[in-house]
């Protein structure tokens, strides 16, 4: 198979939301919002600080928007996010390295100083 | 685990008649109403519902066991499985009918994985079938994330302090499957013998695989 010439890949402009905003290792906060409706970010994690483990490929529909019948153009990335157990539960019993891992849609994350 | 000896005894006493005498609850009535409306509006037919139930019932932990056993004996398959759980399972003919991705979590000497769905009952159904009742009930769902080590202890699983516990909470697009450690003393086992050792609970992460836990153990 012929490899496409490298020059083909330069100058390409990607659609909004096509490229992930966060990368593995980024320090993030899961947003603490309380919109009306059913949202799949568990309340026990809202406002908690962690880091991005992996970008989940491919982009996927925002199932929260889709739940209200709005899905046009809402494909974006999900991220596997790691949050230390001690960050969630101050009285946590176990190893300080124990962690909670969850996938969170891009619109529920903000970057913080690492 | 000993099988209930229900089918071994002589039938010299009457069994209670199998009947459904309870009144349907709110959600039962809601489900019936929505289903009948959707069929009436021709969005899908009764046979499609029946077929979907048949599909769900055809998925059992034996499929997951096949995946794990293959990963244990085939390092190239294992790395494809860890890179993309869904496509690796599809290689073995296990289809994903529900648009979910699969992340396979490898247990090691240093890391122990446990899966839960705190919001409902997300579960790797294409490879494990329907979840056990305890997986869907609130005590497991809340305690698996607040005190996973205590929950594991209740399953008879003691995780040393120097082993990291990772709890994965499935919420939306992704399902998780635990790849347990291959037990010692199984070097001579073939793929089928290995698969027979691997149980549903080991792939949820509440127990390790051992020579005693297998589906064919006496």
Model confidence pLDDT, tens digit, residues B141-167: 999 999 999 999 999 999 999 999 999
Residue A100 to residue B118, Cβ atoms within 8 A:
no
Please write the tens of the pLDDT for every residue from A12-27. 888 877 899 999 999 9
Q: Look up the ipTM and state it.
A: 0.88
Average pLDDT over chain A reads: 88
Q: Measure the CA angle with vertex B148, ends B216 and B204; round to 5°.
A: 30
CA distance B20 to chain A (A): 33
* Bridge partner list, A55: A79
- Strand B164-169 vs strand B174-179: parallel, antiparallel, or unpaired? unpaired
Query: Helix B61-73 crosses helix B75-83 at what angle (to 10 degrees)?
Result: 120
When computed from its CA atoms, the radius of gyration of chain B, rounded to whole angstroms, is: 20
Query: So what's the pLDDT on residue B1?
Result: 42
Closest CA to B159 of B205, B117, B101, B200: B205
Report whether pLDDT(B202) > 70: yes
Q: Which domain holds residue A106?
A: 16-111
Look at residue B184 in the predicted model and tell me its pLDDT.
95
- pTM equals 0.87
d(CA B198, CA B182): 9
Residues in chain B: 218
Residue A61 belongs to a domain = yes
Nearest alpha-carbon partner for A40 in A59, A69, A65: A65
Please, what is the end-to-end C-alpha distance for chain A in angstroms? 43
Is A66:A82 a contact under the CB 8 Å cutoff? no
State mean pLDDT over B175-195. Answer: 97
pLDDT at B99: 80
Confidence band of B13 (pLDDT split at 50, 70, 90): low
Identify the pLDDT of residue B21.
Answer: 76
Question: Confidence class of residue B217 from pLDDT cuts 50, 70 and 90?
Answer: very low
Q: What residues in B contact A44, CB-CB < 8 Å?
A: 118, 145
Mean pLDDT of B205-209: 97
- The average confidence (pLDDT) of chain B is 91
Domain-embedded: residue A10: no
Total domains in the fold of chain A: 1
Render the burial of B136-160: b for 16+ CB within 10 Å, e for the rest. Answer: eeeebbeebbbbbbebbeeeebebe
The CATH number given to B61-204 is 3.90.330.10
Q: What is the per-residue pLDDT for A9?
A: 66
Asked whether residue A11 is assigned to any structural domain, the reply reads: no
Range 41-60 of B in CB contact (< 8 A) with A: none
Report whether the peptide linkage leading into residue B186 is cis, meaning its omega lies within 30 degrees of zero.
no
SS3 A56: strand
- Alpha carbon distance B92, B217 (integer Å): 25
Which one of A103, A105, A106, A109 would you mutate to disrupt binding with B, by most B Cβ within 10 Å of its Cβ?
A103
CA separation for the pair A50, A30 (Å, rounded): 8
Q: How many residues are listed for chain A in this entry?
A: 114
> How many Å apart are CA A102 and CA B118, to the nearest integer?
11
Among A89, A94, A100, select the one facing B149 at the smallest CB separation: A94
Structure tokens at B72: 């244990």
User: Is residue A83 scored above 70 in pLDDT?
Assistant: yes
pLDDT, tens digit, 9 for 90 and up, residues A64-78: 788 788 776 678 899
| Residue B14 confidence (pLDDT) | 67
Provide mean pLDDT across the span B70-89.
Answer: 97
Nearest to A26 by CA among A75, A79, A74: A79
Q: Does the beta-carbon distance from B172 to A42 stay under 8 Å?
A: no
Banded model confidence at residue B121, pLDDT cuts 50, 70, 90 = very high
DSSP H helix total and E strand total for chain B: 11, 4
Residue A26 lies in a domain: yes
Asked if residue B191 has pLDDT above 50, the reply is yes
Question: What CATH number is attached to the domain comprising A69?
Answer: 2.30.30.50
Going from N- to C-terminal start, the domains of chain B cover 26-57, 61-204
- The gap between the terminal CA atoms of chain B, to the nearest Å, is 7
In this structure, what DSSP letter does residue A8 have?
G
Residue A30: closest CA among A41, A19, A38: A41
Residue given tokens 């794990």 in the structure block? B68
DSSP state of B24: P
d(CA B64, CA B26): 35
CB B148 within 8 A of CB B165: yes
With contact defined as beta carbons under 8 Å apart, do B201 and B155 qualify? yes
Specify if A2 maps to a domain: no
CA–CA gap between residue B31 and residue A20 (Å, rounded) = 38
Residue of chain B nearest A43, judged by CA positions: B119
Q: Give me the active site residues of B, please.
A: 117, 120-122
Of B18-32, B43-57, B123-137, the one with minimum mean pLDDT is B18-32
């Amino acid at each position: 198979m012929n490899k496409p010439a490298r020059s083909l890949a330069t100058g390409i402009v990607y659609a909004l939301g096509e490229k992930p905003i966060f990368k593995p290792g980024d320090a993030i906060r899961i947003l603490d919002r309380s919109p009306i409706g059913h949202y799949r970010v568990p309340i026990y994690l809202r406002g908690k600080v962690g880091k991005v483990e992996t970008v989940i490929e491919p982009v996927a529909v925002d199932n929260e928007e889709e739940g209200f019948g709005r899905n046009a153009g809402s494909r974006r990335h999900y991220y596997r996010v790691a949050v230390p157990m001690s960050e969630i539960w101050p009285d946590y019993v176990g190893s300080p390295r124990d962690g909670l891992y969850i996938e969170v849609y891009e619109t529920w994350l903000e970057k913080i100083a690492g | 685990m000993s099988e209930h000896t229900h089918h071994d005894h002589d039938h010299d006493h009457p069994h209670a008649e199998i009947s459904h005498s309870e009144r349907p609850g709110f959600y039962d009535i809601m489900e019936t109403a929505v289903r009948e409306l959707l069929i009436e509006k021709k969005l899908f037919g009764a046979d499609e519902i029946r077929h979907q139930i048949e599909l769900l019932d055809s998925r059992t932990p034996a499929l997951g066991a096949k995946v794990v056993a293959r990963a244990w004996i085939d390092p190239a398959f294992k790395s494809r499985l860890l890179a993309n759980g869904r496509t690796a399972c599809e290689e073995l003919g296990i289809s994903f009918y529900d648009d979910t991705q699969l992340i396979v979590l490898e247990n090691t000497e240093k890391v122990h994985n446990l899966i839960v769905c705190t919001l409902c009952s997300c579960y790797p159904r294409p490879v494990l079938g329907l979840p056990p009742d305890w997986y869907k009930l609130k005590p497991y769902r809340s305690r698996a994330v607040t005190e996973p080590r205590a929950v594991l202890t209740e399953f008879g699983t003691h995780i040393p302090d120097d082993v990291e516990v990772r709890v994965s909470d499935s919420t939306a697009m992704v399902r998780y499957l635990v790849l347990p450690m291959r037990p010692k003393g199984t070097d001579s086992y073939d793929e089928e013998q290995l698969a027979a050792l691997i149980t549903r609970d080991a792939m949820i992460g509440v127990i390790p695989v051992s020579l005693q836990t297998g589906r064919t153990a006496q």
